[in-house]
Amino acid sequence: MTLQGKNILICISGGIAAYKITYLIRDFIKKGAEVQVLMTPSAEHFVSKLTLSTLSKKPVYSDFYSDNGTWNNHVELALWADVILMAPCTANTLAKMVNGMCDNLVLATYMSAKCPVFISPAMDLDMYQHPSTTQNLELAEDFGHQLIPAEFGELASGLSGQGRMAEPETISKIIEEFFSSNKTLTGKTVLITAGPTYEAIDPVRFIGNHSSGKMGFAIAEEAANRGAKVILISGPSAEIAKHQNIEIHRVTSAKEMFTKVFDYYDSVDIAIASAAVADYAPKEIAQEKIKKNDDSLTIELVKNPDILKTMGERKKKQFLVGFALETQNEEENAKGKLAKKNLDMIVLNSLRDDGAGFKGATNKIKILTRDSLTDYSLKSKKEVAKDLLNFVEEQMLK
Ligand code: C5P
């Protein structure tokens, strides 16, 4: 009874995959959950309320008012739910969700909810690939909702491609995992640095690098999911922190990052330095935009403070994790940094590996400690964040 005592609100919108929800309801009920089903008016064409209410053992609502004249309170329904599952979620319902429209009971309930929302889209392949759908799915993820991507296969239109709603077993597994995920970092504070730093040359120009911040934000998100309080100190990055346990501080230069880090460092349990901090900054920042008068221009650079090395020097109880992005003698250089910066572990990513490094959604890492080396396969940055924190937790228990 892995879902015992959990309240699951399923919102069905009008797609052929609606019939599959009947299997999902049975499965949730078998696992001990209470299930409340809502549907959009068009979903009623695809699956009957009678079937859904018999399986869920509750009346199914699709309108603000029931036939007997009672008002279906969307706020109450939303607050009742431990999770909301939008499945199948059509392109239309998705578009309305991310644009704040609430012209039916499903949407009004969704907008009133404070609990986690899972979205399982289902539509024809061209609708799934349409830029508006891509954008809307991204927006939904930015809101902090969890996307259960559509699968590849035969579609109701007879075409074949991505657009099939994830199978009920897949959805059920994701919901179960969500409820069973151990809050292994509850009570811990984790400090994470992320992104690049920009070192000003003059009011318009800077020295920077290609770091996107994706890795650091993924670690922050995963640590927060595990119950940690996260202090995320990020250089300029387009990433957004979604979890409410994440306190984000945005900085620009290495010096600003240094100051912010040491405002918090003494009180944290784990510190993870994933930022790509510029090693050097212009000695002087020109007050006005530098004119292109001469054929050559020399900018004198001075060394930035090494934030991670200073964290190593001031280390008391903190478990300290560094990153190394190397292009040659990778393991040797990473080991050197581990010792020199007094780290507990170092995460190595090599620019030689395809799919590893700065901008992409994937990474391939090796984790080194004083006496071990663990090699991981190419994974999404989300999965890498999980591996990394699993490793930290194991080491802290030693
Ligand atoms: O020495 P190197 O820059 O290669 O080390 C990389 C590691 O040190 C990363 O974890 C990075 O976040 C950190 N670092 C830092 N401050 C710097 C330079 C690097 O915290 N000024």
Q: How far is the CA of 163 from the centre of ligand 1 (A)?
A: 42
Taking only the tens place, the pLDDT of each residue in 67-124 is 888 888 999 999 999 999 999 999 999 999 999 999 999 999 999 998 999 999 999 9
Q: Bridge-partner residues for 11, per DSSP?
A: 38, 86
The domains located in the chain, with CATH, are 7-180 (3.40.50.1950), 189-285+296-397 (3.40.50.10300)
User: Residue 254 CA: which ligand 1 atom is closest?
Assistant: 21
- From 307, 313, 329, 344, the mutation candidate for ligand 1 (largest count of ligand atoms within 8 A of CB) is 307
183-205: average pLDDT:
96
| DSSP one-letter string for 42-58 | GGGGTS-HHHHHHHHTS
387 Cβ neighbours under 8 A, 6+ residues apart: 365, 367, 376, 379
pLDDT for 287 equals 96
Closest-CA residue, ligand 1 atom 19, reads 277
255-260: average pLDDT:
98
Which stretches of the chain are DSSP H helices?
A: 21-30, 49-56, 74-80, 91-98, 105-112, 125-129, 131-142, 168-180, 214-225, 254-264, 307-313, 330-340, 381-397
Phi-psi region of 236 (alpha: psi -120 to 50; beta: other; left: phi over 0): beta
Taking only the tens place, the pLDDT of each residue in 174-183 is 999 888 877 8
Residues with CB under 6 A from ligand 1: 193, 254, 273, 275, 277, 279, 304, 306-308, 322-324, 337
User: Identity (one letter) of the amino acid at 188?
Assistant: K
44-73: average pLDDT:
93
Tell me the catalytic residues: 209
User: Rounded to an integer, what distance in angstroms lies between the CA atom of residue 54 and that of residue 212?
Assistant: 50
CB 28 within 8 A of CB 55: no
Go through 222-256 and write b for each residue having 16 or more CB atoms within 10 A of its CB, e for each that does not.
bbbbbebbbbbbbbbbebebbeebbbbeebbbbeb
What's the whole-model pTM score?
A: 0.70
189-208: average pLDDT:
98
Q: How far is the CA of 279 from the centre of ligand 1 (A)?
A: 8
Q: How far is the CA of 227 from the centre of ligand 1 (A)?
A: 27
